[in-house]
């Protein structure tokens, strides 16, 4: 199934078999030969997710066709994270209050998951630093080495071009490496607390 463009320019499909398309940002290039930054490996990403207690989604949308809506739905319904939604133009999404900025949150988020345009990412990185976050997570299709450098210089961990929903589900046995539902139902006890 291919992603369906919406009137807002986003490409997103919600079925579990197309999780990668659902998490992708619009206009994300397929290959990035100019990339020089190297992100954390699988074990390090797993550790970041396991250590985190709270996630702030910057660029949360009330539009069910948006990737941020799909990811927020998953995080709220399928994880134990405290999820905070950030968008200055919204007041409520999925029954949750929405905050105008990271500074307005009632907590310091462990992970700042970002759904914003490329040019906005360095500014969001600085906001994450100012808010005291531990990790800057740029969603699938998002890559900005300036933002990564800003965040890392302040001691934040950085993940780019990865869907936090896919990563979480894969580490918990729900997805294989390509991001698709494995279809496996198991009574095997999970080794992870999140």
Residues in the chain: 194
Worst-scoring range by mean pLDDT, 97-101, 123-127, 166-170, 181-185? Answer: 181-185
3-state secondary structure of 2: coil
**In this structure, what token pair is assigned to residue 54?**
């709270």
Q: How many CB atoms lie within 10 A of CB 150?
A: 21
Fold of 16-27+40-171: Rossmann fold (3.40.50)
Q: Match 């199934």 to its residue by tokens.
A: 1
Task: Write the DSSP assignment of 11-67 as a string of letters.
Answer: B---SGGGHHHHHPPTT--S--TT-------HHHHHHHHHH--EEEEET--S-TTSH
Nearest to 54 by CA among 125, 132, 161, 152: 132
**Residue-wise pLDDT tens digits, 100-152:** 999 999 999 999 999 999 999 999 999 999 999 999 999 999 999 999 999 99
* Residue-range domain boundaries for the chain: 16-27+40-171
Give this prediction's pTM.
0.75
**Residue-wise pLDDT tens digits, 31-72:** 555 788 888 999 999 999 999 999 999 999 999 999 999 999
Distance CA 74, CA 194 (A): 13
């Amino acid at each position: 199934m291919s992603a369906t463009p919406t009137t807002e320019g986003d490409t997103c499909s919600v079925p579990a078999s197309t999780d990668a398309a659902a998490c992708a940002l619009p206009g994300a290039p397929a290959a990035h030969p100019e990339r020089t930054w190297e992100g954390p490996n699988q074990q390090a990403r797993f550790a970041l997710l396991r250590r985190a207690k709270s996630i702030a989604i910057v660029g949360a949308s009330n539009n069910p066709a948006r990737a941020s809506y799909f990811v927020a739905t998953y995080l709220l319904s399928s994880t134990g994270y405290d999820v905070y939604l950030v968008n200055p133009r919204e007041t409520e999404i999925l029954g949750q209050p929405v905050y105008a900025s990271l500074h307005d949150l009632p907590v310091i988020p462990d992970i700042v998951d970002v759904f914003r345009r490329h040019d906005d990412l360095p500014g969001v990185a600085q906001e994450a630093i100012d808010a005291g976050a531990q990790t800057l997570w740029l969603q699938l299709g998002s890559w900005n080495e300036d933002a990564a450098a800003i965040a890392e210089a302040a001691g934040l961990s950085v993940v780019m071009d990865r869907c936090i929903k896919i990563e979480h589900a894969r580490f918990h046995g729900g997805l294989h490496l390509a991001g698709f539902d494995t279809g496996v139902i198991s009574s095997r006890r999970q080794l992870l607390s999140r």
